[in-house]
Amino acid sequence: MNTPRRMSFVSLTALVIVCHSALFAQEADTSVNYNEVYRFPISVGVEAQFISPMKLFGTDYKGNFTILDISSLVRFPLASLPILQPIARLGFNITKAEPDATYPDLDKFNNTRIYLAGGLGYLHKFNKKFEAGADIETGIGYSMFSKIDPIGGDTYGAWNFQAALGGRLVFNPSFNLSLNFHPTLRYFYSFSPLVRFNGFSVGIGITADYRIGTDPDDPRAEIRSLEFSNPKVDDMFAAMQSYYISNPVGEVTLTNTEKYPLTDLKVTFYQPGYMNIATSVAEIGELAPGASQTVPITASFDQNIFALEGVTPLTGEIKVDYTLRTRKASQTVPVTYDLYDKNSLTWDDDRKVAAFITSGDSALGNYMSYLRQTSKDVVNPGYSDAVQTGIQVFYGLTEIGCLYQRDPTLSYEDAKGNTLVVDSVNLPRETLTKLAGDCDDLTVLYNAMLESSGIATGFITVPGHIYSIFSTGIPARDYRLIHPDKNMTVAIDGVLWVPVEITFIGEEDFESAWRAGADEFVRFVDDGDKLGLYFTTEAQQIFRPVGFQERDLGLQYGDRTRISNDFRQEVNKITSLVMNSYEEAAKAKGNKGSYNTYGIICARFAAYDRAEKAFNNALALDRNYVSPKVNLANVYFLREEYQNALRLFHDAERVLKDAGAVNSSGYARILLNISRTYYELESYDLAAEYSAALAEVNPAMADRYAYLADTAGGRAADMSQALGIQFLEED
């Protein structure tokens, strides 16, 4: 083997070893299109080829020749398909004879050839370092034979044609430098009579290319395909944490500055220190070249924001991850804003105050339990439990010295409606600690305590003011059972609600606070622009309660005797107003039904003396009127005057039997009450007898009071209290 061929073999071996090492040292990431990511606009190179005839196809140079081909070439990867690369080549080759005994005059065929060729290459990247492919070229050249003397000249020249089909094995030490092993199959044809070199040959080539461009992995080549326009985030408030999850706090406009579409755009917002993970803002499938899209920014903060004090300037980050022609990229833009602590808000939406109504606070639950315990022995069983709870809270807060105090720095009146002014609202536990607050603080505290007892609340806003309202759960048609003045209650969806001017706490009684709230509601009810009515539960669907740290408040609950006395006096006053209204109606109408109704109301409120008088007035108008007869007997029963009760029950039984009304619901109730009375007198046999009679008339009722059929007595201790006394409205 001659020296050039030996060099070619050594070079080939070395290149194959290097390429093999690169291929297995760097596994390809199948998610990356290396042809796209590491594409280059143009490359220039130099190639050296060692050529020998391919005698397999009958080609015979008739002697030994050394042919060295040196060329420069340019490759242009197609923009839309970079694996296809047009090729332009300019080269020359030197053919030098090696004379021997057989062919002693070979050196006259020494020649130099210049040629120009072009073609198309295919080159696929397996990873960043290794690629392989093939190419095809055709071209034309001119050979010059200096030792063949033409007629009348010193040099013989001949035009010729060439074609080549080659393979490439490429190793890239860097993005810009490429080393190629390039074996080729060539065909040569001369247009002159000198056809010695016509036919097929093989070439073994080594190429060094320089690729224009910047390595995509170089920091200087970082993709910047997006332009951010007007990125902004508004000032935020810790109390509105839940609101920001689904409602925009700012926006950014994204513009694709590339000539190609961007795909799989994922927009996030992240605030270090106050988010566990970045908030996913939007996903955009494709953004066309030159297109823009405005993205609203949302934020999902963690609980750390509730530890803030005052105003904290922050810098967040809007980030967009996207794909450009299979290459992953990301860009970020900073945004600055102020984050206010959990007590701050602006009054652009009155519902925001619901975020401060923290009914789940155990400190409120404990205090509420204490208040319920102080009054449990004086609770009126017939009056609205919700209103009585409202009274308990009112006087409980009065007892510990809680007072209305206008905010010395910025009151609700000054802040309301001004979205540029930041107001401060105390959490209920903070107001309990300070024992003072303005109208929003006290409304929040009052509502939170009622909500902790399972009472639905709301809040009313009028110009410069906010106060509480709560549900009684009583149908609107029964307003007189709450207060004789219909305007003292607000009918909402068929249920009565009670407005309370909570700023009267510590200064006035509950009924005055109630009346002030009702009067203010009536004053503005016809002006929808000035009056707002919101429900805590609904508002908290948007503005969830803020987070807080549970700790003992060290709260002194106050004197239970004073709370109980104030509560009892207030309930007695209000129930007296209700009873008085029914009494006045009965006197005005003067009929037996009105007195019977009046008596039922009195009995409901445990005013048994008034009830007895009312039922006797009804009976005085009609001695056979069954309803007041039964109801009066019920009063005797409740006062444990069982013999008097039994006498009247039997009298009513007789009246209904004489009237043939033994199948009426009233008759069934009488049988029940007689059975219960005998049971209380420990006449269990008679109780069972009337229970059996009841079963014939109303089996369901008898089953409900099944203990009455037990002739041995001994019912469960709470059985008689489980089901109430049956009063009759009408016969």
Give the whole-angstrom CA distance, residue 38 versus residue 19. 18
- Sequence-ordered list of residues with C-beta below 8 angstroms from that of 394, at least 6 positions apart, any chain: 446, 500, 502, 505, 510, 513
pLDDT bucket at 2, cuts 50 / 70 / 90: very low
Does 194 or 89 have the greater pLDDT score? Answer: 89
What pLDDT is recorded for position 80? 83
Residue 9 has pLDDT above 90, yes or no: no
Which of 279-283, 315-319, 400-404, 711-715 bottoms out in mean pLDDT, i.e. has the lowest? 711-715
pTM for this one? 0.70
534-558 pLDDT per residue, tens: 999 999 999 999 887 777 777 788 8
pLDDT bucket at 410, cuts 50 / 70 / 90: low
What pLDDT is recorded for position 8? 45
435-483 pLDDT per residue, tens: 999 999 999 999 999 999 999 999 999 988 999 999 999 999 999 999 9
What pLDDT is recorded for position 479? 95
What pLDDT is recorded for position 411? 52
Q: What is the mean pLDDT of residues 224-241?
A: 92
Number of alpha carbons in the 13 Å side-chain half-sphere of residue 509? 11
What pLDDT is recorded for position 167? 95
DSSP annotation of 649: H
What pLDDT is recorded for position 415? 55
Which of 67-76, 151-160, 207-216 bottoms out in mean pLDDT, i.e. has the lowest? 151-160
21-71 pLDDT per residue, tens: 444 444 555 667 888 878 888 999 999 999 988 876 778 888 888 999 999
Residue 720 has pLDDT above 90, yes or no: no
What pLDDT is recorded for position 717? 38
Give the CA dihedral 712, 713, 714, 717, nearest 10 degrees: 170
What pLDDT is recorded for position 33? 82
Sort strands 327-340 and 236-237 into parallel, antiparallel or unpaired: parallel
Q: What is the mean pLDDT of residues 625-642?
A: 92
pLDDT bucket at 220, cuts 50 / 70 / 90: low
Which of 93-107, 328-342, 634-648 bottoms out in mean pLDDT, i.e. has the lowest? 93-107
Phi, psi torsion values for 555, nearest 5 degrees: -80, 130
Share of the chain above pLDDT 90, in %: 66
647-689 pLDDT per residue, tens: 999 998 998 888 888 888 888 989 999 999 999 999 999 999 9
Phi, psi torsion values for 112, nearest 5 degrees: -125, 135
- Round the average pLDDT of the chain to a whole number and report it: 88
What pLDDT is recorded for position 416? 57
Q: What is the mean pLDDT of residues 707-725?
A: 61
What pLDDT is recorded for position 731? 61
What pLDDT is recorded for position 326? 79
What pLDDT is recorded for position 185? 94
pLDDT bucket at 420, cuts 50 / 70 / 90: low
318-356 pLDDT per residue, tens: 999 999 887 888 999 999 999 999 889 888 899 999 999
pLDDT bucket at 419, cuts 50 / 70 / 90: low
171-217 pLDDT per residue, tens: 999 989 999 999 999 999 999 888 888 989 999 999 999 999 877 77
Share of the chain above pLDDT 70, in %: 91
Give the whole-angstrom CA distance, residue 367 versus residue 445. 12
What pLDDT is recorded for position 30? 63
Residue 724 has pLDDT above 70, yes or no: no
Full set of structural domains in the chain with CATH: 3-211 (2.40.160.20), 223-342 (2.60.40.10), 347-558 (3.10.620), 624-722 (1.25.40.10)
Residue 140: closest CA among 157, 108, 109, 116: 116
Residue 369 has pLDDT above 80, yes or no: yes
What pLDDT is recorded for position 24? 45
Give the whole-angstrom CA distance, residue 141 versus residue 154. 20
Q: What is the mean pLDDT of residues 573-581?
A: 96
Q: Are 591 and 621 in contact (CB under 8 A)?
A: yes
Residue 351: closest CA among 492, 540, 502: 540
pLDDT bucket at 7, cuts 50 / 70 / 90: very low
Residue 669: closest CA among 644, 633, 640, 638: 633
Does 425 or 148 have the greater pLDDT score? Answer: 425
Q: What is the mean pLDDT of residues 111-130?
A: 93
Q: With the C-alpha atoms ordered 477, 494, 466, 433, is the resulting torsion angle positive or negative?
A: positive
